[in-house]
Amino acid sequence: MTYAIAEAAHRSGLSIDTLRYYERIELIDPPARDSGGRRVYTDDDLAWLAFLTRLRTTGMPIKLMREYARLRDQGPVSAGARKRILERHREDVKVRIAELTSCLDALDYKIENYEQIIRAETLSTIQEASA
């Protein structure tokens, strides 16, 4: 299955400009072209874009994504290097998750505190009204 750039953008959740940018900075290989010279993306291209999006969502810097893409182009010979990049990044993600979990705990504490204040205020208002 092949997709024009607009459909590839829609399916990947990326903008057309982002697809062109990723091509320009060599995160993705230049896609094939149809007889009219328009870019044509494949399911494999979309799978790679989905993976790049996950890397970006987890905070991997573009520079490291480019290194990973360069190694990917080398094929199986670079599997070890790619694995090491992902292992180091996984550790960074785990640290970020722990930080976010701590922040979430603080938010939950404050929300619960405000709920108690609001309940106490509501109860006080009800008691005053019935007195």
3 forms beta bridges with 41
pTM beyond cutoff 0.85: no
C-alpha closest to that of 93 among 56, 59, 46 = 59
pLDDT digits (tens, 9 = 90+) for 57-79: 999 999 999 999 999 999 999 99
Cα 52 to Cα 56: distance, rounded to the nearest angstrom: 6
Cα 8 to Cα 46: distance, rounded to the nearest angstrom: 7
Q: Which two tokens stand for residue 44?
A: 């494999």
pLDDT digits (tens, 9 = 90+) for 8-32: 999 999 999 999 999 999 999 999 9
